[in-house]
């Protein structure tokens, strides 16, 4: 099963995207509809609201008078928190029931208006955000909902900013143009990413890089992509994870790299990851174990550094997750090398030159990875000396 979070600001076209996903075969769960369902007449939710706020929040037919309730809760923070304390657990429970009832091979799209504001992103395999310029949204709200311009702008201003939404978005669907363009983008996303992603999650298959070597100019979104992956890993693993870091070339600003996000998870013991229950959580979360990878080269004694390796099931985001024991030599080296690269323009330039030199004569990623080993060995002492001279310490967490 693949869980997709769908969100977007008012007037962005999120409902259009949700409808198209439903037509394509997704199980769509609409948080707004559930919020109404759990306070319908005769429900325990409505009873609890009346007990807390009184009969004045009911209309003449005994249903919830939303304007009356809104006037109370939007004017008082404590009242709003009390309302959320009643409705949120009910909505969460109903959502869980609907997810549990979905087929094992379902793509579940959860339509959540406040996904960004509530920081729900790590709970999904992927977050899709529908975006449109503020002026476009204002015009839509005035035309389709009859809102006054001032009211439309006020509603937009009360929600998350586009910058906040972009930080949360694995996929940004631009919707400033024609509706048909948006629907085409949704269809492409469904066919090329979501369907294979679901199959990979279900079968415990990781997405792998092409063997043909390709170096990319620095992508300013690499750190944000890494941050979202790390947040998901923490959500899946809980306190099994002690540290979680973006490492490797994509973690070094200005450095050319393969388009592969390298992450390092620090654990108390590798046995924690080997636990079958933990591996199953990782598989369901979209991070399957890569079999056969049990160590790295030891750059001190030329032996081996124990580790485990996880992959990403997302076909559009290749990631290598290196799991090492906190404080181990391999764990420490990954952080020292990254921070040495970040701190020193000379070291960065040398590494970039070496990458380009190898790429000029090597065609496959496997050969390229092996060919870099002598250079790593040659700079080992320099990186360690830098760490000692600067008083370097591992970053917390």
Query: What residue numbers does the annotated binding site for ATP cover?
Result: 11-16
Give the relative orientation of helices 345-359 and 329-343 as an angle to the nearest 10 degrees: 100
CA distance 14 to 36: 18
The widest CA-to-CA distance across the chain, in whole angstroms, is 81
3-state SS class at 107:
strand
CA distance 283 to 307: 18
CA distance 88 to 344: 49
Instruction: Detail the residues annotated as belonging to a binding site.
Output: 11-16
CA distance 350 to 339: 15
Closest CA to 62 of 80, 70, 50: 50
The number of beta carbons lying within 10 Å of the beta carbon of residue 350 is 16
Angle at 369 between CA 364 and CA 375, to 5 degrees: 130
**Strand 308-311 relative to strand 319-325, pairing:** antiparallel
Q: How many residues does the chain have?
A: 397
CA distance 180 to 20: 11
Strand partners, 321: 263, 310
Residue 381 CB-density burial (10 A; 0-12 exposed, 13-18 middle, 19+ buried): exposed
Strand partners, 295: 306
H-run or E-run covering 77:
helix 77-101
Only one residue has tokens 């973006």, namely: 246
Strand partners, 304: 297
CA distance 80 to 96: 24
CA distance 317 to 232: 14
């Amino acid at each position: 099963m693949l869980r997709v979070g769908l969100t977007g600001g008012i007037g962005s076209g999120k409902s259009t995207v949700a409808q198209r996903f439903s037509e394509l075969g997704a199980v769509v769960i609409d948080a707004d509809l559930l919020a109404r369902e759990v306070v319908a007449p005769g429900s325990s939710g409505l009873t609890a609201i009346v007990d807390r706020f009184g009969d004045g929040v009911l209309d003449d037919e005994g249903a919830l008078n939303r304007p009356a309730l809104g006037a109370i809760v939007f004017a008082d923070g404590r009242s709003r928190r009390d309302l959320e304390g009643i409705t949120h657990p009910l909505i969460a429970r109903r959502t869980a029931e609907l997810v549990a009832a979905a087929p094992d091979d379902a793509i579940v799209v959860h339509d959540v208006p406040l996904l960004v504001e509530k920081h729900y992103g790590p709970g999904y395999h992927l977050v899709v955000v529908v975006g449109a310029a503020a002026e476009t949204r204002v015009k839509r709200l005035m035309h389709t909902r009859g809102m006054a311009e001032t009211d439309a702008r006020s509603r937009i201003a009360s929600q998350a900013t586009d910058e906040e939404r972009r930080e949360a978005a694995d996929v940004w669907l631009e919707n400033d143009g024609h509706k048909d363009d948006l629907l085409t983008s949704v269809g492409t996303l469904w066919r090329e990413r979501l369907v294979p992603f679901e199959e990979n999650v279900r079968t415990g298959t990781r997405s792998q890089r092409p063997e043909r070597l390709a170096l990319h100019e620095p992508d300013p979104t690499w750190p944000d992509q890494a941050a979202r992956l790390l947040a998901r890993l923490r959500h899946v693993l809980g306190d099994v994870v002690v540290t979680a870091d973006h490492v490797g070339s994509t973690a070094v600003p200005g450095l050319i790299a393969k388009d592969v996000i390298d992450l390092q998870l620090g654990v108390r013991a590798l046995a924690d990851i080997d636990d079958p229950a933990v591996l199953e959580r990782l598989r369901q979360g979209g991070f399957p174990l890569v079999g056969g990878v049990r160590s790295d080269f030891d750059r001190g004694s030329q032996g081996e550094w124990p580790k485990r390796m996880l992959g990403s099931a997302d076909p559009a985001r290749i990631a290598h997750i290196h799991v090492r024991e906190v404080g181990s030599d391999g764990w420490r080296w990954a952080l020292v090398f990254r921070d040495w690269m970040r701190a020193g323009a000379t070291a960065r330039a040398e590494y970039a030159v070496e990458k380009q030199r190898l790429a000029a004569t090597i065609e496959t990623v496997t050969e390229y990875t092996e060919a870099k080993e002598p250079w790593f060995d040659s700079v080992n002492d320099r990186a360690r000396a830098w760490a000692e001279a600067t008083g370097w310490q591992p970053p917390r967490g």
